[in-house]
Structure 1
Amino acid sequence: MPAPTGDAPAGPGPVPGVAVGPGRTGGELTGAVHSWDVSVGVDGPGTRFVAFLAGCPLRCRYCHSPDTWYRRSGRHRTVDELMAEITRYQRFIQVAGGGVTLSGGEPLLQPRFTGEVLRRCHEMGLHTALDTSGFLGVRADDALLDATDLVLLDVKSWDPATYRRVTRTGSVAPTLRFGRRLAERGTPIWIRFVLVPGLTDAEENVAGVADFAAGLATVQRVEVLPFHRLGAHKYADLGLTFPLADTAPPTPELLDRVRGQFAERGLTVY
């Protein structure tokens, strides 16, 4: 299938809400951090310290964390402050074969902060992962990617019209370009695809994502993530309407069909 086309977002530059001025270098760089958690086998291999950065340019209809959409929802933390939290768990996550994952929101909305945290984690010998939509992949410079051991790439849709319905903005083309760039660099990738009945489940749409994933030599696995409504209360708390309140989770039969579409292309599917 031909790749969707569209303009990439603007390249690297100052990000509102993130200090990048004189004197703000290295450990003094400030980012907007929503929260952090320790999880097992969810956001990368092993037990992981997962930092959720605040701010995202997309507004995905199925998003279960609308509280991370705005940078103002995060607390300003320096790299040193976040690294101090990570260091508390260093021995635990290393023994458990894990590492550190930067998620969001969208971590590439804060590329300098994200890159410095990943670099510092690498210096500590920690496995690093970047959980991103790839929409802002052009903001990830080579130094940031050199410090990234794994990218969890969330491919929202293949079909351009469906992508706009899902995200309410933009084009999937930047994500596809970023995925190809990662593969050319040799960066390991886990593709993530959220399965939403009536939205992302069309056979042609799934086939496009599957063909794309199969064409990237460094894709290690595909995770088909069933839609759920567990974040609906967050919309209510924020005074927002959850757009998929009446959408049911996918049936086992639909999950099997979609996972089969990926598996028949030789991909490892979860």
Structure 2
Amino acid sequence: MLNINNCHIKNLDNTLRVHSIESFGTHDGPGIRMVVFLQGCKLKCLYCHNPDTIQTSGGTEYQIEELVGMALKMKPYFGKKGGVTVSGGEPLLQSKELVPFFKRLKEEGIHTNIDTNGRVLNHFTKELLDEYADLVMLDIKHMTEDGYEFLTGMRNKETTFTFAKHREASGKAMWLRYVLIPDITNKPELLHAMGQYFKDYKTIEKIEIQPYHKLGIHKWETLGWEYQLKDARENTEEEINAASEILKNYFKEVKIN
């Protein structure tokens, strides 16, 4: 990963507040991708492995044309499937600025992808979803309101499902992502509930299971924040496979990341 936190770039119009940029990413959408991690998120998920992206005051301002230039240099490596993914943090907090960025990428024939929690659905987000985002990866936190609040610190999980409905109406591709935490999100009744909710969606190409891990604990400690899931255990291989088998009843493809 290319970390740009220590770089200094003048703050101009048409900029994005960026945390870091990863070259040759292979876990954030199809093919080889340039992944732009934007700064800022309104949620504080207990399992977040990039908590340094949460504060909106951090990051570095990058001009859109500079980012497009980086993508063009990488374009020969993208092949037929790769492209640019914006992640975070929550990238759609900067949805207004993402519109011209994605528009330029589309002009250059580069595949575009948004990795989001789906809590922002303003005019600019709708323009992105309807016109410029070839793919959306939507993070489903939890299927109950109490569970959602426990994990994220916020209520109103329905915003995510409203977002999903809008993407479905656009007719454009969507992947779901789901972090599998033993005894919290990895429960058969929750997996079935998610499958039942989305089983009739036509735009969902796959669901990605992300087994819980503790790789981000040191970042929480560096920030002086308490990591509240330190006693949570990781999934066994049998538990992961069992969850996968349940979800295969509802989705075209189930991938374990």
Instruction: Specify if TM > 0.5.
Output: yes
Alpha-carbon contact 2:15-2:97 (below 8 Å) kept: yes
Unaligned runs of 5+ in 2: 1-10
Please say if 1:109 is aligned against 2:100. Answer: no
Shift of 1:239: 1.2
Classify the secondary structure of the residue corresponding to 1:110: helix
Matched, 1:188 2:183: no
Deviates more, 1:74-83 or 1:159-168: 74-83
Partner of 2:103: 119
Aligned ranges for residues 1-270 of structure 1 at < 5 Å? 28-93=13-78, 95=79, 97-138=81-122, 140-145=124-129, 146-270=131-255
Q: Is the 8 A contact 2:113 2:137 kept in 1?
A: yes
RMSD, aligned CA: 1.6
Instruction: Structure 1: state its 5+ residue gaps.
Output: 1-18
For 1:96 and 1:248, locate their aligned partners in 2 and report how far apart those are by CA, in whole Å.
39
Query: Match of 2:229, as an amino acid?
Result: L
Structure 1 position 184, deviation (Å): 1.1
The amino acid that maps onto 1:122 is: K
How far apart are residue 252 of structure 1 and its match? Answer: 1.3
TM-score, normalised by the number of residues in structure 2: 0.90
CA drift of 1:82 comes to 1.9
Q: What are the superposed Cα offsets for residues 185-213 of structure 1, whole Å, 9 maximum, x if unpaired? A: 10101100000112112222222212223
Moved over 4 A (4+): none
CA displacement at 1:41 relative to structure 2: 3.1
Which residue number in structure 2 is paired with residue 14 of structure 1? Answer: none
The one-letter code of the counterpart of 2:253 is T
- Equivalenced residue count is 244
The DSSP-based 3-state class of the residue aligned with 1:229 is: coil
Greater Cα shift, 118-127 or 197-206? 197-206
Alpha-carbon displacement from aligned partner over 1:203-256 (angstroms, at most 9, x marks no partner): 222222122232211100011110000111111111111111121111112112
What secondary structure does 1:73 align onto? Answer: coil
Q: What is the deviation of 1:267?
A: 3.1
CA contact (8 A) 1:34 1:74 kept: yes
Distance in 2, Cα, partners of 1:123 & 1:259: 38
One-letter amino acid of the counterpart of residue 27, structure 2 = V
Aligned-pair distance for 1:78? 1.8
How far 1:40 sits from its partner (Å)? 4.2
The whole-number CA distance in structure 2 between the counterparts of 1:75 and 1:50 is 15
